[in-house]
Chains A and B, each alone.
Chain A
Amino acid sequence: MIDRKWLGHELPPSVLAIERTRLQFFAKAIGETDPVYTDPAAAREAGYADLPAPPTFLFAAELDSGATDRLLADLEIPLAKLLHGEQGFSYHGTACAGDTVTVRSAISDIYDRKNGALEFVVKTSVATNQHGARIAELRTVLVCRH
């Protein structure tokens, strides 16, 4: 069982510098061929300051920083038992290459189903840019299968 003492736990902030080459790599990995996501000139023509980070990209912040690994270790959820249950984003702006985004998360719920065979951890996050403007909120439901 995941210790309920982690309810309300705040993760250390994760700072993600958004770089063109990383976004180009991400576009390749997901098969995105729209030049808005790979060619800075096309991005500017479409009205973005530089290559936009695609809608799900900010999930990388806590993976890159190690905050996700640390959380799983704290909660004693082995990678072999981990599933992703739900993911949500609400957007207030578009982060672009050149921006630095900070993601701050807290554990907002922990519950179980099927007599404890499945445990759920809900993490809610706020992403802000280098000007302190809110870019997005994220909601993640992690599942531990027993």
Chain B
Amino acid sequence: MHAMTTPSLLTAAQVGDLLPPLQLPPVDRATLALFAGASGDHNPIHIDTDFARRAGMPDVFAQGMLGMAWVARLLTAWAPQRQLRRLDVRFQGITHLGHAMRCSGRVAELLELDGERCARIELLSANQYGQARIVGDALIALH
């Protein structure tokens, strides 16, 4: 079996370390349609402009879970998924078409959880205008 890509980096994690940010392309309708199918969220408000307008929205907008999946990509690019212990987010605003999200994370704390050394990561996903759309926390075991 090959070694993991980043074990030495992870065990050396320090408070204040920044995860390599994840820059996403602008949200488009095709992405929303694909995510609707792949995620099982068929709510037409994300894929049918007519429905969205009748609901009082200017247009379709991104599924919250799409934004959370991107935040999870930030984490699994930094540490193998099997080391992820928790992921908790709050959706702070609607991600509209054209928003180009940037996911970032910072090691906020090192702690012990059930005998494991873990890093608590503060998470942010913000659009190109600097508006936070998702904030949250993750716990990742360091080994």
Contacts and interface: CB of A to CB of B under 8 A. Distances in A.
Interface residues of A, number: 37
Contacts of A81: 55
Q: Which of A30, A34, A89 has the most CB of B within 10 A?
A: A30
A80 B31 contact: no
A81 B84 CA distance: 33
Contacts of B70: 30-31
A88 interface: yes
B99 to A, nearest CB: 15
Given A45-B2, A55-B81, A91-B84, A60 B54 contact: no
Interface string A44-68: 0111100010111001100110000
B117 to A, nearest CB: 16
Nearest to A24: B38
Interface stretch (B7-15, B40-48, B104-112, B121-129): B40-48
B86 A64 contact: no
18 contacts: A25-B38, A26-B69, A28-B38, A32-B73, A34-B76, A47-B82, A48-B82, A52-B82, A55-B87, A56-B69, A56-B87, A63-B39, A84-B91, A85-B90, A86-B88, A88-B86, A89-B87, A90-B85
